[in-house]
């Protein structure tokens, strides 16, 4: 498994991973544009991520197939002695690859990447309905110490 | 109350707000450097935030006094149709100003700022012990739909 920053050609596979998810479908992601139908907003978002050293769209490439993805944002801050934190968004592991420990290996790579970027804290939010995900992250050492609060603007 | 991006001269006041908090003290923030003692890591973090259009350190200035602060990060993403989200970190309202609705006015300004920056979602995490904060954010329309998970790196 190779962990690397996504290139344009990976975007359709990343979108398919993002859409292949019950909770995302329930909030209207079932009709996410893929492949040729990827629309301008999504390409603009990709270009913005790609151009920004503080954001990395990560993919796990296994024999040419994209089997996992997430987005990392490295955020400077004055708290905790001026240390940087890494926010992890949009984590997906392909559903047919979850059993074999691939997700764990993927996340361990991601945490290593955070350390390389000088981050002293990793953080993510996960929907309260995702009980499997909570166990998964707890197994990696994450603590559910905070409420994750969201507001549509 | 004037809401504006912090300048260098505001940093000591922001650090004092960050330090004036029971939970932050419990994790070792009680001896946060302030004023002349602000150390290199904190200045470096301020410079990094200040130079990055995706990060804004916000202060509320009331008659020349800094009475509230937070840090905003505007994050592009492929999810939800390529929409941008705003992460809100390190929210503090000066303890002697919380009763008069200042916090609510501050956060409403912050949410407006997110809309101006094209964000379609605002998100934050808040320590599960901060029951008052949960009520405060719920009153602004935030939903505690997610677990906020953290891992020291």
Asked if the C-beta of A53 comes within 8 angstroms of chain B's C-beta atoms, the answer is: no
Tokens of A39: 């629309």
Among residues A22, A79, A136, the alpha carbon closest in space to that of B71 is found at A79
Distance CA A77, CA B152 (A): 15
Those residues whose C-beta lies under 8 Å from the C-beta of residue A58, and which sit 6 or more positions away, are A3, A4, A5, A6, A69, A70, A71, A72, A110, A113
Give the pLDDT confidence of B92-144 residue by residue, as tens digits. Answer: 999 888 877 899 999 999 999 999 999 999 999 999 999 999 999 999 999 99
Binary contact (A124, B149; C-beta < 8 A): yes
Q: Is a pLDDT exceeding 70 seen at residue B81?
A: yes
Asked if the C-beta of A39 comes within 8 angstroms of chain B's C-beta atoms, the answer is: yes
Those residues whose C-beta lies under 8 Å from the C-beta of residue A144, and which sit 6 or more positions away, are A134, A137, A138, B128, B147, B148, B149
Q: Which residue has the tokens 């100003």?
A: B97
What pLDDT is stored for residue A1 in this prediction?
85
Q: Is a pLDDT exceeding 60 seen at residue B32?
A: no
Binary contact (B78, A45; C-beta < 8 A): yes
The torsion angles phi and psi of B24, rounded to 5 degrees, stand at -65, -40
Nearest Cα residue in chain B from A112: B153
Percent of chain A with pLDDT over 70: 89
| CB–CB contacts below 8 A, A to B | 224
Residues 3-32 of A with CB under 8 A from B: 11, 14-15, 18, 24, 27, 29, 32
Residues 72-91 of A with CB under 8 A from B: 73, 75-87, 89-90
**Mean pLDDT for chain B overall:** 90
Q: What is the nearest CA distance from A16 to chain B, expressed in angstroms? A: 11
ipTM computed for the complex: 0.89
Read off the pTM: 0.90
Over range B36-43, report the average pLDDT.
75
Candidates A85, A121, A153; nearest CB to B114: A153
Binary contact (A32, B81; C-beta < 8 A): yes
The torsion angles phi and psi of B45, rounded to 5 degrees, stand at -65, -40
Residue A29: DSSP 8-state: I
* DSSP string computed for A108-151: HHHHHHHHHTTEEEEEEEEETT-HHHHHHHHHTT-EEEEEEEEE
Strand order in B65-75's β-sheet?
Answer: A2-5, A55-62, A65-75, A84-93, A119-127, B143-152, A143-152, B119-127, B84-93, B65-75, B55-62, B2-5
Distance CA A38, CA A40 (A): 7
The better pLDDT of the pair A73, A38 is held by: A73
**Contacts A150 to B, Cβ<8 Å:** 121-123, 142-143, 145-146
**Mean pLDDT for chain A overall:** 90
């Amino acid at each position: 498994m190779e962990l690397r920053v996504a290139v344009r050609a990976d975007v359709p596979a990343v979108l398919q991973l993002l859409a292949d998810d019950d909770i995302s479908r329930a909030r209207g992601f079932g009709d996410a544009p893929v492949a040729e139908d990827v629309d301008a907003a999504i390409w603009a978002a990709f270009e913005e991520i790609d151009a920004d050293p503080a954001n990395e769209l990560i993919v796990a490439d296994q024999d040419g197939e994209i089997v996992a993805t997430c987005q990392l944002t490295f955020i400077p801050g004055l708290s905790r002695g001026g240390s940087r934190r890494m926010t992890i968004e949009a984590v997906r592991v392909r559903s047919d690859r979850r059993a074999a420990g691939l997700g764990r290996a993927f996340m361990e790579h991601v945490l290593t990447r955070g350390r390389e970027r000088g981050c002293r804290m990793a953080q993510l939010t996960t929907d309260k309905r995702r009980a499997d995900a909570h166990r998964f992250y707890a197994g990696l050492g994450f603590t559910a110490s905070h409420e994750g609060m969201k507001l549509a603007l």
